[in-house]
Amino acid sequence: MHKILLVEDDIDYGTVVKQYLEISGFDVVWTSDSIEVNALFEQHNFDLAILDIMLPIKDGFTLAKEMHQNHPNIPFLFLTAKNQNIDRLLGLKLGAADYIAKTCDPEELKLRIDNILRHTPKETTTVYHLGIYTFNPTLLRLEHPKRTYQLTERERDLLLLFIQYDQSILEREVILNQLWQSADYFNGRSLDVFVTRLRKYLVDDDTIQITSIRGVGFKINLNL
């Protein structure tokens, strides 16, 4: 079952779209709060996002820019009453797979979604074995013989970067620029929090080491 994120602040319209898509076989997570979107991406593996444009605080175009940067493999479309040609062109330039007016028939919306998903390449799942752990990045899952850790997307991305640099030194600036897009002080503190979390998850295997190198970054040994 495909999971869809619906960002729509019109309660009546959002209810209709969510119910129709669920009847059509989709798993829909609906939010009317554009600020909540980043947190939802940490919690779910979405196959597609539907964005309204006229949202309070953070509009749909801004969300699209963030999505295209942080989740480039997830297609999104605009479903909006803002239907002037200049808006449609901007939406498509931002990478939208489609731009649909809210006057669209629900069945047409479903068919357009089906068409997008049909032409979206499916990622092959690579499972990594880190010592006694099994790491499935697609499912955001780190499995210990006795327990399973459900990772956030940021934790997943950081662990993937550690795998890429296994047996090597990984500089802090490289991590910050790749995952946070900025190597400032506050992002650096956030990085330290995520490294601490991964160390706690991996603590039961002494062969796995994420060693801090002061002023440089980390020496990685994941026992791959």
Convert the pLDDT of each residue in 32-90 to its tens digit: 998 999 889 888 888 999 999 999 889 999 999 888 877 878 899 999 998 889 999 99
Going from the C-alpha of 33 to that of each of 11, 28, 75, 219, the distances in angstroms are: 11, 15, 20, 40
Q: Which CATH architecture has domain 128-221?
A: Orthogonal Bundle (1.10)
**DSSP category for residue 179:** I
* pLDDT confidence tier of residue 25, bands split at 50, 70 and 90: very high
Q: Where are the domains of the chain?
A: 3-118, 128-221
Confidence of residue 124 (pLDDT cuts 50, 70, 90): low
Nearest of 46, 57, 105, 58 to residue 79 by alpha carbon = 105
pTM to 2 decimal places: 0.57
In angstroms, rounded to a whole number, what is the distance separating the alpha carbons of residues 193 and 20?
A: 41
Domain 3-118, architecture per CATH: 3-Layer(aba) Sandwich (3.40)
